Amino acid sequence: MSKKLSWVLTDTAKRVYVENCTLGATALGMDKDGAWTITKSRLRGGLSDGVDIIEVNNGQLSFTIVPTRGMGLWRGSCGGHAIGWNSPARDLVNPGFINTLEQGGLGWLKGFNECIVRCGLNSNGAPGMDTVLDNNGNPSEVMLTLHGNIANIPAKYVEVEVIPGTPTELVITGVVEESRCFCPQYRMVCRYSTFVGSNKVSIRDEVSNFADCPTEFQMLYHCNFGEPFLEEGAKIVLPAAEVAPRDPRAQEDIDTWDSYRGYEPGYVEQGYYLDVAADAQGRTLSMLKNRASTLGVVIRWDKSQLPSFCQWKHTTGASEGYVTGMEPSINMPNLKSFERQKGRVLTLQPGQTYAIDLAMEIAGDAKAVAAVEAEVAAIMAGRKTTVQQQPVAKWSPCAN
């Protein structure tokens, strides 16, 4: 079999919706390069009622995509190691149960439990007020909620593709639109790709402005990991040219910014802003490795597409969400007005599309971890990281 196979699971324009679907290598006569499965189902009951999930297992790496929640990647597994984190939001939450305006704009946190969640598209930083033109062309104050809206918008189109080859490629494509009258109009086309037997999933997002006027655009990838990668003595490894604390709280531990503690119930989060170096092609990466350097999770991206980076530490108690975030982004996750002032809010022209490439892979043993560390060292080429002891004005509002 050499022809690409495809199945449309959701297409609102054509009123197509498939609630349950199971595809597999054996049933399709494609198991020459290993067993794989793709399963689509709808959850029932509780806050998860009505949430669609697509579970992909390539024989080595498995992961769950959630079309109902902006095509986020919920959790996964590779070589018996769990990928993701244990959020206090235990289950997937249908966006219909979320009011992002709750608790001063922090309602987004009610559904926050994904391994990879997109933050955007009109805004993606801290909650707060911003000034925009209303439908009459007059300046109007509006409340921007934490991390924007895209993670709580269901996909309008979902397709599964199986592309025969050596090895076979498994692809999930989704289309999510963030738009309403008198407001910006975005279309995001997400493509997840993995090859049978691999330890990697690749993501390509294409965000388009389908309005007739220019519109602002922000995007951040909140990539979150707990145990077994995160533990006391774990470290983040990346080609950091410069790092600075986000605020006075992060400043307290700036000398140990790249290492992690064990459980600390009541821990108050810390954030660090970084300038990450890249190779000659603009490619860069970040790895969270365990204490023994025998296991790591790696995020790869193109710095020309995502020039900013935030490291989020939340090493609290086990039931409170013991987690760290590696967050490549277009802008720093500050209030949008501050990011606009610093020139980190992009403008998409009518019809313009912005492409972003991101990947997650698992370094499953000491040799693989060492290979990633060698990549980081090659990018740094002997340079040392500049560590700022206090927040800096170019990145943090509290430094102004």
Residue 290 has a pLDDT of 98
Indicate the CATH number for domain 5-399.
Answer: 2.70.98.10
Residue 301 has a pLDDT of 99
Using pLDDT thresholds of 50, 70 and 90, give the confidence band for residue 400.
Answer: low
Using pLDDT thresholds of 50, 70 and 90, give the confidence band for residue 1.
Answer: low
Model confidence pLDDT, tens digit, residues 77-103: 999 999 999 999 999 999 999 999 999
Using pLDDT thresholds of 50, 70 and 90, give the confidence band for residue 31.
Answer: confident
At 322, which amino acid appears? Y
Residue 119 has pLDDT above 70, yes or no: yes
Q: Do the Cβ atoms of 205 and 349 come closer than 8 Å?
A: no
Residue 118 has a pLDDT of 98
Lowest mean pLDDT among 1-15, 45-59, 191-205, 314-328: 1-15
Residue 302 has pLDDT above 90, yes or no: yes
- Say how far apart CA 232 and CA 237 lie, in whole Å: 15
How big is the chain, counted in residues?
400
Please give the average per-residue pLDDT across 332-343, as a whole number. Answer: 97
- DSSP per-residue string spanning 21-39: EEEETTTTT-GGG---EEE
Please give the average per-residue pLDDT across 144-160, as a whole number. Answer: 98
Map tokens 């022809």 to a residue: 3
In the chain, where the domains are located: 5-399
Which of 45, 65, 47 has the alpha carbon at shortest distance from 55?
65
Residue 183 has pLDDT above 90, yes or no: no
Q: What are the residues whose beta carbons fall under 8 Å from the beta carbon of 115, sequence distance 6 or more? A: 63, 73, 74, 75, 76, 83, 84, 85, 223, 224, 225, 360
Please give the average per-residue pLDDT across 109-128, as a whole number. Answer: 97
